[in-house]
Structure 1
Amino acid sequence: MSEESSGALANNAPPASPRTTVIEASQLSRSFGETKAAQDVSFEVRRGEILGFLGPNGAGKSTTLRMITGLIAADRGSAKICGIDVATHPIEAKKKFGYLPESIPLYEEMEVIDYLRFIGSARGIAKAVLEKSIDRISKRLGLLPMLRRRCGTLSKGFRQRVGLAQALIHDPEVVILDEPTNGLDPRQIIEVRSLIRELAIDRAVIFSTHILQEIAAICTRIIVIHSGHLIADGTPDELAGDSSEDWQVVTSGSGVDPEQCPGLQLAPGVEGSTGETVHRWLGESAPDLGDLSIQIYRSGSRLLHVGRSRESLEQVYLRLTGGERVQA
């Protein structure tokens, strides 16, 4: 992917409030036989947000995204894109979003440029506008050398880029990406993250993943899906906030004398900044800062900070899902 200015993919839609709600999901539910893939999933997404769908494979992420995009019908509930009901007005709704599915529907014998022309034409884009759009997006995604290659000959990484291009060809207000970094090398993953941040300047972006690192790197908000249920919704800081009942005490130096400070013990597996040590407070109630500061001083250290322990994103996820892991 080549580096372009942040205006390379500027949204040409009429100006709107940067926090306008553009996705509304209400009690979306879908079963396949006896399997309840999604149950009463409700949330909203505003322009400017990067919303990450986090959950293990089979949690219901893709099913929820497919209901939002109208690819499958919900058994119950509704989804709106820019105020347009996806079920009752599918053609109008599809003009408002771009979608990268987990399995990209490429025509294997078609050249990349013809595939993008086909997608653009199907979306009703005028020919002159379409050619400019293909050129702009191909430059941004590093596809120019591949435009005359048949889709069936592309590597997985380039297939993913073509999938991204078709999702952006009509300059949508909402971008929905299902596992967008699948098959990409580390450099390409970094570039996709940069692209997502760029898109979110004046759009809403949803992407699903089972990789914690992807969520932590770029999301402004996280939804956790588990066994078809939405079990958490918040910013990374909100999810990792006062979720622990433990208190952490940070001191200068390499630690305190346990005889001088009987209420403290080194926090296992937690490293402080250079020249600092993190301890766990053993008391049942919040520590008395005056007494604690004196104890630490007598031990040859200084009290630097006292606060609730903060969980890592992985710890939050494991707590919420009862220990089921996703890829870190």
Structure 2
Amino acid sequence: MEAQRNEVRWYGVGASVVGASHRRANQPNQDAIRWSPREAGPAETLVLALSDGHGGAKYFRSHTGALFAVDVAITILNDLQRTGSNESPEIDLSRVKRLAEEQIPRMLVREWSERVTTHYKGCPLTRQETTPLLEREGPAAEEAVRNAPILTYGATIIAVAITPSFILYLQLGDGDILTVSEAGEVSRPIPPDERLFANETTSLCTRHAWREVRFSVQPVQATPEEHLPALILVATDGYSNSFQDEAAFRQVGADVLALVRAEGIETVRSSLEGWLNEASQQGSGDDITVGIIYRGVGVSPPASAAPTLVGTEAGGEDRDEPGTPEQEPQTNQSGGEPV
């Protein structure tokens, strides 16, 4: 008789810090992170969502757009979790892939756009908000956001939903998802979007944004436990931009897994904010948000330093911009042309 495998349990920890350059400019944290359930463990089901509000002058409400993005993603993916509760793994995977391709992107963009529309109708753009844009980019830029206030809320979204049957990875815009195997091998469940360069990004605020949502689905029940991710690391691009290259950044995934195994998930939880502040100061200067999902049993010895989790790239200003659409989006439209 085949031995019954252990129940899979997941732990989630995360942190979000204001970028060093934003602190100097007295700007808010334009990132957002949310969990369901709140950071806890062990859990059989878990949803994590991160969003990075754009940093250009036009996107002066992007911190609010990021908050809306993570709230909407959590709500939609919590509903999706119920799909993974009662069906067979094969039916679940087929259904989830169909939902991820056909329905979830539209729902995500539509509900985010509705949140934004409700907000700016209740809180119209003010002269205090638009004057810096006018001074920096001129009358045409100010007119563009007054005609399409949704632009000012522009943000990305990255999410991971884990159920007993499947793991769904979802991404619109820049940022990173790394998975780490039991052996410490690091991979990306969603390949990098080669169109995103020079601080351009796809965005929730562009026309037809739902077309730009990318995803990957991994079975859980039908996958041997040793082939499931031992750790998943999700980050806004301020983190990877703090490292010299892709190899240095990917090494972080393996280093975090080794640290969790050696000293426990609570060590990472208590130290993460300090590591991210140091990474921003020494690296990108951008806001940095990281969520870490660990499969296994956590232990809680005292926190210790982990220098390899801090990047060494030269600093730079956060200037994420969505790709320029052929025409500006209307307030009742979902999104934008590809980059």
Q: TM-score scaled by structure 1? A: 0.23
Pick the structure with more strand per residue.
1
Q: TM-score scaled by structure 2? A: 0.22
